[in-house]
Structure 1
Amino acid sequence: MLDTLYRRHPGKLGWVDPYGDTLFNEQEAQVVRQEVAVLIQGCTDDQRKAALLDLAELLEACAATPGSYLWFIGD
Structure 2
Amino acid sequence: MGIELELHSARPGRGSSRATLLRGSYAYGEALAHALSSLDRHGSGKLGWVDPYGDTLFNEQEAEAARREVAALVDDCADGRQRAALLDLDGLLAQCAATPGSYLQFIGD
User: What is the aligned-residue identity percentage?
Assistant: 67
Secondary structure of 2:51's counterpart equals coil
Unaligned runs of 5+ in 2: 1-34
Structure 1: which 4+ aligned runs deviate by more than 6 Å?
Answer: none
Q: Relative to total residues, which structure has the larger helix share, 1 or 2?
A: 1
Larger Rg: 2
Matched, 1:5 2:39: yes
Q: Which segment is superposed worse, 50-59 or 4-13?
A: 4-13
Normalising to structure 1: TM-score of the pair? 0.90
Once residues 39 and 2 of structure 1 are traced to their aligned partners in structure 2, the CA distance between those partners, rounded to angstroms, is 9
Normalising to structure 2: TM-score of the pair? 0.64
The count of aligned residue pairs is 75
Instruction: Evaluate the alpha carbon distance shift between residue 51 and residue 38 of structure 1 in structure 2; reply closer, same or farther with a 3 A threshold.
Output: same
Which residue of 2 is the match for residue 29 of structure 1?
63
Which amino acid in the other structure matches residue 56 of structure 1? D
Which amino acid in the other structure matches residue 31 of structure 1? A
Q: Relative to total residues, which structure has the larger strand share, 1 or 2?
A: 2
Which amino acid in the other structure matches residue 62 of structure 1? C
Once residues 41 and 9 of structure 1 are traced to their aligned partners in structure 2, the CA distance between those partners, rounded to angstroms, is 20
Superposed displacement of residue 69, structure 1:
0.3
Matched, 1:15 2:81: no
**RMSD across aligned C-alpha pairs, in angstroms?**
1.3
Once residues 43 and 8 of structure 1 are traced to their aligned partners in structure 2, the CA distance between those partners, rounded to angstroms, is 22
Preserved CA contact (<8 Å) 1:6 1:16: no
1:5-49 CA-partner distances (Å, limit 9, x unpaired): 251654110110011110000000000011101111111111111
